[in-house]
Amino acid sequence: NWALAGVAGARAGHLVTSAVEHPAVLATARALEHAGRLRLTVVGVDRSGRVDPDEVVRALAPDTVLVSLMLANNEVGTLQPVAEVAEACRRRGVLVHTDAAQAVGKVPVDAGALGVDLLTVAGHKLYAPKGVGILVVRRGVAIAPMILGAGHERGLRAGTENVPGIVGLGAACAIARQDTVAEAGRLAALRDELEVRLAAGFPGLVRHGHRELRLPNTASVAFPGVDANALLAALADEVAASAGAACHSGATHPSDVLTAMGVDAAIATATVRFSLGRFTTAAEVEAGARTVLAAVCTMKSL
């Protein structure tokens, strides 16, 4: 919200984003457009959920002030070509924001190496306290304040700081930085094992997202002929999963992300997202796959 609204408050103009962004970006962008503060262009993605950098460049206009492109998708895990887009935008004097909420703590993230001007982090995604986050703003980039009042946080966010949350987030970042690469390798192996087991037990399994350029912890799969929400209800006591994004679990309409990827509605409504974490074990993956397949088998036989 702040990254987009902050730029819009400092510079009116044109915003480019993608069709698979989190609602924190898309809803904000559409609200700014509705309020007449920004003109909006939403670019599409390919079947893997990945943006074509050339399409982003073609969408730029003389009054484009910002491109907002997530680093990793929260539903299918696909990584976006943020660095390539940022380089092209820098040559044209266009600011770039990346939503790194899903990526930080799962893959190495360096705002400087990416070449972005603004980067957002959600603390709870890397085991920090809920309700705390980070907005990285490159030196020299002007944004409007989030909250007006006293001069807290360089005059950008008035109000007493959440010191315990800030300390907790700092500690979480330090821990993640120590072993991001090793943990990513461990999670990728577990994710692959989960997908292999599910595919072996359900030959018609459909996998979503890029096969290589993706987060190590996310498996988005469809069980054709099985309603995802009914499956989640059957699994509720043993396996935590979601239909699409975790924050939209229980939604009855097809995922906007899968729809943007060109996934058929029948497949989209049969899709379940599994996310692995720092405390997930191989035994849990084995047991989870077995439980999921048993539930799917029961539902298919009804």
Average pLDDT over residues 23-50: 96
Q: What is the percent of the chain with per-residue pLDDT over 90, rounded to a whole number? A: 84
C-alpha to C-alpha distance for 107 and 218, rounded to whole angstroms: 12
Does the structure show a pLDDT above 80 at 204? yes
Average pLDDT over residues 139-162: 80
Domain coordinates of the chain in residue numbers? 2-170, 180-301
Question: Measured in Å, how far apart are the chain's first and last C-alpha atoms?
Answer: 45
CATH for 180-301 is 3.90.1150.10
- Judged against a pLDDT cut of 90, whether residue 186 lies above it is answered with yes
Work out the number of other CB atoms within 10 angstroms of the CB of residue 48. Answer: 17
- Catalytic residue check, 173: no
Which tokens is 147 given?
A: 């909250």
* Token digits of residue 232: 């989640």
Task: Supply the mean pLDDT for the chain.
Answer: 93
Helix (H) or strand (E) holding 275: strand 271-275
Q: State in words which class domain 2-170 has.
A: alpha beta
Token pair belonging to 33 = 């457009």
Residue 199: phi and psi, rounded to 5, are -65, -35
Question: For the ranges 57-71, 137-151, 179-193, 201-215, which has the lowest average pLDDT?
Answer: 137-151
Q: Per-residue confidence at 165, pLDDT binned at 50, 70, 90?
A: very high
Q: What is the pTM of this model?
A: 0.92
